[in-house]
Structure 1
Amino acid sequence: MSPLDAPRDPRNSDLDAALIEAREAYAAARPQSAAIHAKAREVMPGGNTRTVLFYTPFPTAMVRGEGAHLRDADGRDYLDLCGEYSAGLFGHSERRILDAVKAAMDRGINLAAVGENEVRLAALICGRFPSVEQVRFTNSGTEANIMALAGARGLTGRTEVLVFRGGYHGGVFTFPLGVPVSAVNLPIPMRFADYNDAAGAAAAIREAGDRLAAVLVEPMQGSGGCIPATREFLQALRDATKETGALLIFDEVMTSRHGYGGLQQRLGITPDMTTFGKYMAGGMSFGAFGGRRDVMAVFDGHRPGAMPHAGTFNNNVLSMAAGCVALGEIFDESAAEALFARGETLRAALNAACAKHGVAMHFTGAGSMLNPHFRNGPVTAPYKASPEEEQMRELFFFDMLAAGIYLARRGMAALSLPVTDADCARFVAAVDEFCAARKPVLKPA
């Protein structure tokens, strides 16, 4: 029998039809966003300047945010659970941060000098993360990872770096599973291992030996699907790097929100260096890298031959002022623990809703960050999604937008502090309705 004559799973054709209908409804409801995108395509390739915000037929254009809510160019309102991919921890209108930024602007923007606020912010970071005795600032998590690796290579005199398949460490260090290494990645010699494979990773570190400068790892893969590392896996990295002299670097750009001292404190594993970014400057552009004093000493300008670390806006007055308020007054230990607990409760409720309908869908994550997977669990490592899974993910995204809930295109949610229990209940109800309505096109559990 010809493959063309083979019976098709009816779910596939139904899924195609459901997705076409969802796209058409999405486009029809957003003529202003469509017009903005059409104009943008004339002057920007693809019509935008940030890949993660690109999706077809066109992305929704937002015009206003307040608290945990957004309004788009067509006047539609949303509960914002995207949380600016974890950078929007404080919501869109935290008055204390706005006041701090305004006060900094009133004193002058570009001063080309050091200031007291950068010392205050550095002390706040050093005081809460176990691995950080000294810290330097950058403009993004991407830059933080670049400089951390530069420091590790400079200190050790070695060149190679071990990373993990499915990992993401910024726009120039992206390693999606099943995809050739990106041409945008920096030309640093890389070795690869599998995430959450403790024995395999330890063996790879020992095999690299004195060629390996650093191991760079996310304690929870964010872009890879909010997949937490096991403690056993991270401990194996800690033990093997100590044995071989490589530096262990935790990329906590996202996960530092999962506790007062990040996931490293929650898990009780201390790396040699840590990178930060996202929320720490209250929504302003920000990144940082820090570590043991002897490691960070390679950037000490008082020492002959110190490594340079430039950046016009590294210590810009807006980020420094906002960061002092964000970490010093708002996101304290009690706030961090409350946010983590809220996310854990939400994820459990979402998974209960999925299980109730008997569909192959569940959420992974830690604390206030979570991501749906359209397959049975557990999911402990990144994977290449099937075309059907990608369609289900897209359908989920459009259905949530129709329900007035804004998520990352890949389905990831990152709760902000203004999100309430009622907001979480609304999301659970929307997922429950999605599972009920789309059960005919979802895979059975």
Structure 2
Amino acid sequence: MTTDRAADRRAAAAVRRALDGRPDVTAEPPPPPPPGWRPGERALRLGTLAVVALAAALLSGRPWLPALAAAPLVLLALALPGGTRPREVTAEAEVEPRRCFEGERVRVRIAVAHDGEAGRLDPGVTLGHGVRLDHLAVGPHHVELVLTAGRWGRWTLGTVDVDVYDGGGLARRTVRVDLGEVAVFPLPGHAGLTPVPVRLPQRLGEHTAAQRGEGVEVTGVHPYVPGERQRRIHWPATTRRGTVQVHRFAAESAADTVVLLDALADVVDPVTGASSLDETFRAAAGLVRAYLRTHDRVGVVSVGGATRWLRPGSGQGYFHRIAESVLDVRKDLAHRSEGLGPLPPPALPDGALVYVVTPLADQRVFDVLHQVRRRANPVVVVEVPTGDPVVEPGDTEGELALRLWRADRDAMRFALVERGIAVVAHRPGETLDLALAPLLRTRVRGGTR
């Protein structure tokens, strides 16, 4: 019994280490630059040379040493008045695009304007989280940057402090440019299959319904009724039966689909370093795009620091609305609420197929599943694997804890299947169609109220 408790503690500690390994998304801006003009690097070097020469003359008493300080002092004296320095220096940034997908580039152009004579520009870049600097070019009146969006989220690009030097390069003035925010959408996983529930709403779509209607899939034949189109006559059946028989078609309806995102925990795979939250949103984006392409209505619900939801809608432009509605989840990673409130009824329409994309790492997600199942919605759990905790070779207690951890996860999956909830596993790097293919054998059924 003592060994079992120790193994449980080690397994719990491994899970906590994985949860604590999530990336920090808080970024503080750098301190503001000093106002006005101040000496540049060249002026500091000249001043240092003059001071060293004068100090050497005082210490050694040689009369020719002060002559070494004459040239630096003359240059500094000529630069002190600053009559030709710009009095006003402004900088404006153009960022294109403000919305992009993971891995795409963001181009920034900073135009510097001044009213006097100025020399070179020297930019200092402070980037925010989620972006990477790939290229930097400096011109006489502009600065160009090329950034790459590495991870999904709503990121602050950062700031650029542009040092504007005077004509002689002895004084400089810093002007700060705030680059603002950029919305980086998760790269959708590849998905083409769209499983449907048993009961479909009475709206025109592309999914074959159980009832008769105006579709393209033939389900049988029936006797001719006056008023039906003659081109639908099935001549082989008409010849065999001796009466006019026409094709019977299945109706084509649309589906209501809701993708529920588990943002309760961000588990980092100890082996690959992959984030479960990243894979969750990529899989969800693939599901949303696949169903929108078939003219279905798709909604989204994210549960985490705060519950966000968007009523189901249709159209390719709706994908961007769904993606923007969940980008702020990145800012909620540091907030872990103790309990979850009830899901809003408009977010889960009656009979809608609900995909719950989750790593099954937080017990509170089972409360969410219970709420959805209680409303008799058909549910599919798309499990995002988090990787097994790392166990050192030869660690007997660690190996036992790993076996208990795996058995506990198998028990969770079994309990969900026993409740009538379909569970599929999506592995990072694989297409979603591999995970959804088993659902095409039969339509997903819902529960009972």
The structure with the greater share of residues assigned to helix is 1
The structure with the greater share of residues assigned to strand is 2
Same topology, TM > 0.5: no
Could you tell me the TM-score, scaled by structure 1's length?
0.23
**Which structure has the larger Rg over C-alpha atoms?**
2
Could you tell me the TM-score, scaled by structure 2's length?
0.23
